[in-house]
Amino acid sequence: MILAQAIVGETAGLFQKAFELLERGGPVMWPILICSLMGITVAFERGVAFWKYNTANLFFRKKTLALVENIKNGRFEEALAESRKLDCPAARIIREALQNIDTGFCETLRAASQRELNKLKRGFSVLDTVITVAPMLGILGTVTGIIATFNALNPASMGNPTAATAGIGEALITTATGLIVAIICIFPFNYLTSQLNLCATDLEQVMHKFEVAFNSGRMNVQKSETNTNL
C-alpha cells in the first residue's frame, strides 16, 4: 500500500513538473507537444503495421510457394481459390492478378504490389513533417522568448529581473524541446524507411516469381490445348 502511494505520488510529481515546464516554455510548447504526440502515435502504429506484414508473410510463406506451383502448372482456378483462403500481401497481390488474367496479369500484379507498398508507407509524411517542424517551432520559441526578454528590459521593468530571466528560460526550453522531439522521431523514421525498402525488395522478388510461374503455366496450358486438338 505504501509502495503504491509512493508510485502515485511520484507520478503526480512528474506530471506537475511537466506542466510547469510547459508553462515556462510559453505558448509554442503546445504545438511542439502536439507534434511529439503525433510522431509517437505514427511511429507506434507503423511499427505494428510492419510487424503484422512481416508476420503474415512468414506464416503464409509455404502456402504462397504452393500458389506458385499451381500457377506454374497452369492450374489458375485452383490457385485463385487457394489465394482467397490466405490473408497475406503476396496472396492479395496474386489474387487480384488472377482475377484479371485475361486483361493484364503482369500489369495488375505491379499495380497491386504498389498498392501494398502505399499502405505500408502511410503516415511517413506525418513523421517526416514532425522531424522538420519541431526544430522550427523550437526556433520560433527562441525568438518569442528573446522578444519577451527585451520587453522586460525596458526602463519601466528594470526593477523586475525575473521577467527577463523568464524570457531567456522560454527561449532555451522551446529550443531544447523541439530538438529533442526531432531527434527522437528520427530513429523510428529511419528504421521504418529501412523496413519499407526491405518490403519493396521482397515484393519485387515475389512479383518476379509470379510472373515466371504465370508464363510457364500459360505455356503448359497452350501445350495441353494443342495436344487436345491433335
Answer positive or negative: Cα dihedral of 188, 193, 194, 198: positive
Q: How far apart are CA 158 and CA 137, in angstroms?
A: 29
pLDDT at residue number 133: 94
Contact 115, 123 (CB under 8 A): no
pLDDT for residue 2 is more than 50: no
- Residue 143 falls within a domain, yes or no? yes
Q: Answer yes or no: pTM beyond 0.85.
A: no
For the beta carbon of residue 163, count every other beta carbon within 10 angstroms.
Answer: 16
pLDDT at residue number 127: 92
Our CA dihedral for 168, 173, 178, 179, rounded to 10 degrees, sits at 90
- Quote the percentage of the chain above a pLDDT of 90: 21
Q: How many structural domains does the chain have?
A: 1
- Residue 190 falls within a domain, yes or no? yes
- Residue 63 falls within a domain, yes or no? yes
- Residue 229 falls within a domain, yes or no? no
pLDDT at residue number 217: 79
Instruction: Fill in the amino acid letter for 220.
Output: N
For residue 65, the enclosing domain spans 34-215
Rounded mean pLDDT of 25-34? 84
pLDDT in tens, 100-153: 887 777 888 888 888 888 988 988 999 999 999 999 998 888 888 777 777 766
- Residue 15 falls within a domain, yes or no? no
- Residue 14 falls within a domain, yes or no? no
